[in-house]
C-alpha cells in the first residue's frame, strides 16, 4: 500500500489524492486542486470543480488554495444567509481576486 503524501503550508493542508491534491483548512475539506502544465511546460493548478475547456490556472499550490478557500467561504455564507443565485453571483464577483492590469 502506497503511503499518502501530506504537506502543510500556512493554513492549508494538502493531501495527495489519486489524480489531484485534496485541500483542508483546520481539518475541513474545502476542495481539490488538479495539477496541469502550461504551454511552456510549467506546472500550474486548476480548481477541481473548474471543468471548462480553458480553466483559470494558478501558479503555485498555495495561490490556488486561496482561491479555493474564497469559493468555499462564499458557498458556506450563501447557505447561512440563504442567498439567491443572483446574490451569490454578485458576491462572488466582488470577492474575485484582483489580477494584474493589462497594458
> Mind listing the pLDDT tens digit for each residue in 22-72?
999 999 999 999 999 988 889 999 999 999 998 999 999 999 999 999 999
CA distance 66 to 101: 20
Please tell me whether residue 1 adopts helix, strand or coil conformation.
coil
pLDDT at site 97: 62
**pTM of the entire predicted model:** 0.80
Q: How many CB atoms lie within 10 A of CB 94?
A: 8
Classify residue 16 by burial, with Cβ atoms within 10 Å: 0-12, 13-18, 19+.
middle
Q: Where are the domains of the chain?
A: 6-95
Amino acid at each position: 500500500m502506497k503511503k499518502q503524501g501530506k504537506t502543510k503550508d500556512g493554513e492549508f493542508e494538502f493531501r495527495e489524492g489519486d489524480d489531484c491534491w485534496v485541500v483542508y483548512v483546520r481539518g475541513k475539506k474545502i476542495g481539490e486542486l488538479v495539477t496541469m502544465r502550461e504551454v511552456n511546460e510549467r506546472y500550474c493548478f486548476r480548481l477541481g470543480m473548474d471543468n471548462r475547456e480553458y480553466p483559470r490556472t494558478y501558479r503555485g499550490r498555495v495561490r490556488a488554495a486561496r482561491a479555493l478557500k474564497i469559493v468555499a467561504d462564499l458557498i458556506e455564507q450563501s447557505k447561512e444567509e440563504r442567498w439567491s443565485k443572483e446574490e451569490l453571483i454578485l458576491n462572488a464577483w466582488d470577492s474575485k481576486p484582483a489580477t494584474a492590469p493589462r497594458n
